[in-house]
Structure 1
Amino acid sequence: MDPREQPRKRPGPRSARSAPAVRAPDTGPGRAAGARRKAPAGERAEPVPGAAGPAGGEERLVALFTGGARRGRRRIGPRTSAFSLFGTVEIDLTEAFFTQRLTTVDVVSVFGTVEVRVPENVSLRGGGTGVFGSFRVDAAEAADPEAPVVVVNGCSVFGGVEARPERGRRVADLLHGRTRGHSGR
């Protein structure tokens, strides 16, 4: 019998038993930081590549008709993305540990607000566009040429984006193993 003439099998409904043991990573905006792949019972789940972990990766913040904030003592990865739709996202880097020199924050605000705050001894740069809204980056250069740099890029449509240094706050430097006058509060 010719293989082209064989009847085709129709795929049946998939059960939990027929699903693959380890699924491909879902790197969409709904994936939580530190996400893990599913694993069979008795085996340890492995981290999803690209998920923001304690030392880096991309961190994604989404606020849909709600508010979200990232603040406190934590390690910052090289890239952070924030999206606000009728909500508010607050990114407070004043107590963060910078493990690399350049950190990029990409923001999009639609009828919402995104606020980014950095310590005063970190260089802040960036730019973007506001369409019937505002996009404001209070650029500041740190006195130390080796200081970490935060770049804020993006756009705002009927919303607002604000990035500014927080006066009186200083950052601990993990790049060179010394503290740069971290005053806490």
Structure 2
Amino acid sequence: MKSPKPIKFLKGEKVSVLPWKKTPKGHRYAITNHGRTISYTDDVKTGRLLKSANLGGYPGISFRIGDENRSINIHRLVAQEFVKQPSKKHKKVIHLNFKKDDNHYKNLKWVTVEQQFEHDKKNPNYASRGGNFKLNADKVREIKTSLQKGKFTLRQIAKKYKVSDMQIYRIRTGENWSHIKI
């Protein structure tokens, strides 16, 4: 059997071995600060580079450990291993240049949910939405005020604003429009 070719590491590329258990076949995993993932058995240098899967628009890896299937976004792995997380409130990882496939550690940053929302508003890849929507920030404030007062049922509020009961429920629970405060 021919020996595997060693991986050619890029200039300044650092490797971090991921702390998971071995797979049943003895595979281990590592991530580089450039966002490349490696599967290996004995030595990272003789492992193989993994191709990424598309996980919700982001490059990720899928693998099996024991009876469990796992899928993880590569940018989160890189951030966990190479980017300092300022506090526990900083739970989200953003791409500073808005390119989802650029997982270099210098392009990633830990942010709060609010900071992520502000960052997403600046994303040039998404055109600003037009004005033909049923709800806007002012209407959502009115809905939240109505919900707080409790005078109307979800169905009555939904009918008034011509949206579904589920939309009103999601506004009430904070699943939708959580950034709008009253």
Structure-2-length-normalised TM-score: 0.25
Instruction: With a CA cutoff of 8 Å and minimum separation of 6, indicate the structure with the bigger relative contact order.
Output: 1
TM-score by length of 1: 0.25
**Larger proportion of helix:** 2
